[in-house]
Amino acid sequence: MIERSILQILIILVLIGDEVARSEGFKYRLVRPSENPSIQETVVGCPRVHTVAPKETLLDISRHYGLGFNEMQILHPSADPWIPERGLRLSIPTQWILPPTRYQGIVINLPELRLYRFFPRIEMVKTYPVGIGDVGYETPQGVYQVIEREVDPVWDLPPSLRKNYGITKVPPGSYFTIRPFWASAT
């Protein structure tokens, strides 16, 4: 029960809308049994370069490219995350190897902190960064189905986190809310 609650609380997903989390659709091609394996295309996206503008932070740049803050921070450890040097040219990690899976529905790659939403009929995938929780709260692994979705949810903090933050609820649109969509899984 606690694992299900943690999963429901911690997986804040954006399933629709570019205004919330930027994501492009990427084509992929899987090998059919009668085809040559060398034509399989499971690397999507392309690396990019970004020049830091005045008053931009690594967080701003990450959100613009549909990345998690950690992806930019890991790639650019010497850059000041809050006041990067204006004019600095940054490599943007916008190329991914699709995880080995069925390429259907939603797949969360935990080590990569990335969600893949597959559209198999048109061989397209969209990808988004995800947060999976706090140290000591393992995200349960398995196959789940989305059973409920909510827009602008109020986040009820579990008792273990209430003492850390001194609050019991986080209202929608507050400083702590990452995205305005929430999904509950079986």
Instruction: Report if residue 31 sits inside a domain.
Output: yes
The CA distance from 10 to 77, in Å, is: 26
Instruction: Report if residue 134 sits inside a domain.
Output: yes
User: What amino acid occupies position 85?
Assistant: E
Pairing of strands 181-185, 169-170: unpaired
Instruction: Report if residue 131 sits inside a domain.
Output: yes
Instruction: Compare 59 and 134 and report the one with higher pLDDT.
Output: 59
Domain with 126 in it: 2-46+94-185
Structure tokens of 37?
């394996």
Instruction: Report if residue 28 sits inside a domain.
Output: yes
Give how many domains the chain has, as a whole number: 1
Q: With beta carbons less than 8 A apart as the criterion, state whether 173 and 180 touch.
A: yes
Confidence category of residue 15, pLDDT binned at 50, 70, 90: very low
Q: Number of C-alpha atoms within 13 angstroms, CB side, residue 43?
A: 7
Consecutive H or E run containing 182: strand 181-185
Instruction: Report if residue 143 sits inside a domain.
Output: yes
Give the angle 62-16-109 at the CA atoms, nearest 5°.
60
Structure tokens of 142?
């398995």
pTM of the shown model: 0.68
105: which strand partners? 118
Instruction: Report if residue 36 sits inside a domain.
Output: yes
Instruction: Report if residue 80 sits inside a domain.
Output: no
Mean pLDDT of the chain: 76
Instruction: Report if residue 38 sits inside a domain.
Output: yes
Task: Convert the pLDDT of each residue in 21-34 to its tens digit.
Answer: 456 676 666 656 56
Task: Convert the pLDDT of each residue in 62-118 to its tens digit.
Answer: 988 988 888 999 999 999 999 999 999 999 998 888 888 888 888 888 888 888 988
Consecutive H or E run containing 118: strand 114-119
Q: With beta carbons less than 8 A apart as the criterion, state whether 74 and 129 touch.
A: no
Give the angle 19-70-108 at the CA atoms, nearest 5°.
70
